[in-house]
Structure 1
């Protein structure tokens, strides 16, 4: 495992990474959310449209939102995104992990862990005391992953709608504490 981690590079996402990130994100949705989100929605996800959306976000250059990629042997194998936590339209002092996705075939290789750690460290260095995230309530694998990295559910639950189906999410939180020096 250490050998694989040593070859893993975490860096900020560039415009050239948008297609790979779109493939990872859509592959992640189709793999992780099968049976939780309507299949017709998953089938309609379009890599080209998602890549174009990523380009648009990056071109806006919102310094508060950080997109990271994990690269191994020149291939982008993971993506994470974090920024300020929002209560509706109001920003709080907390950070939010918006996404962590790993290319199918690279699960359990340390990619997700490295991206999560880098995001948490950057948020701690930026002065955030806590990091929050939302995860599908039925996504047991992701919930176990976050729990193994110190996140705990805080009791908040909210559904979002996908093709007319309410999909419940639960919120997790973690104190960042000593992450700034880690």
Structure 2
């Protein structure tokens, strides 16, 4: 019996179904106490898959991309454990030429606390650095203590900026986290 290895690679169009499934499973588990239950119940795999068609078209080498972490199993079976997306910052107060935004980092719940998220985040930071970004930012829900603790362990800090987004009838506060990238 061979042991499985984890490989971080660019997401492929053939990964659409798996990426949508990771998003569905992660959102359902991570946000059950944070977002409106009706919003979570309304998530549909088909809709998420359609969004991934557009997302995978937004690639630009190290300036914008999606990486996935794959558990390389026996034969031709590869299981996607999670993904990370980054692109030029969309925040009006930040320079998109210098600041990358980590727009999403999700892993399947069964891989939480296994190093999967750390591997993905490091790969995105390395790629963004190689793409010429000097800083990176990301948004995290204030009530998502698990995610906030994860980012803080990885050297990210809340920069004092926050906003509010709607989740059904709820207003949910988001915090922006920030870090410099190695030159």
TM-score, with normalisation over the residues of structure 1? 0.89
Using the alignment, how far apart are the partners of 1:21 and 1:84 within structure 2?
A: 21
Q: Unaligned stretches of 5+ in structure 2?
A: none
Deviations 1:69-112 (A, max 9, x none): 00002111111101111124985220110111111211111110
Q: Which of the numbers 150, 153, 158 marks the counterpart of 2:155?
A: 150
Residue aligning to 1:28: 26
Comparing 27-36 with 137-146, which one deviates more in the overlay? 27-36
Using the alignment, how far apart are the partners of 1:154 and 1:57 within structure 2?
A: 27
Flag the 1:51–1:158 CA change in 2: closer, same or farther, 3 A.
Answer: same
Comparing 20-29 with 115-124, which one deviates more in the overlay? 20-29
Q: Which runs of 4+ in 1 moved over 3 A?
A: 88-91
Residue aligning to 2:140: 135
Shift of 1:17: 0.7
**2:90 partner SS:** strand
Using the alignment, how far apart are the partners of 1:111 and 1:141 within structure 2?
A: 14
Using the alignment, how far apart are the partners of 1:102 and 1:90 within structure 2?
A: 27
Deviations 1:37-68 (A, max 9, x none): 1101100000111011101332x354142111
User: Higher helix share goes to which structure?
Assistant: 1
Q: Unaligned stretches of 5+ in structure 1?
A: none
Using the alignment, how far apart are the partners of 2:58 and 2:112 within structure 1?
A: 30
- TM alignment of 1:28-47, pairs within 5 A: 28-47=26-45
Task: Tell me if structure 1 keeps the 8 A contact 2:36–2:169.
Answer: no
Residue aligning to 2:68: 69
Q: Which of the numbers 163, 169, 177 marks the counterpart of 2:174?
A: 169
TM-score, with normalisation over the residues of structure 2? 0.89
Using the alignment, how far apart are the partners of 1:31 and 1:89 within structure 2?
A: 32
State how many pairs are aligned.
Answer: 173
Matched, 1:55 2:59: no
Shift of 1:177: 1.8
Flag the 1:150–1:90 CA change in 2: closer, same or farther, 3 A.
Answer: closer
Matched, 1:94 2:114: no
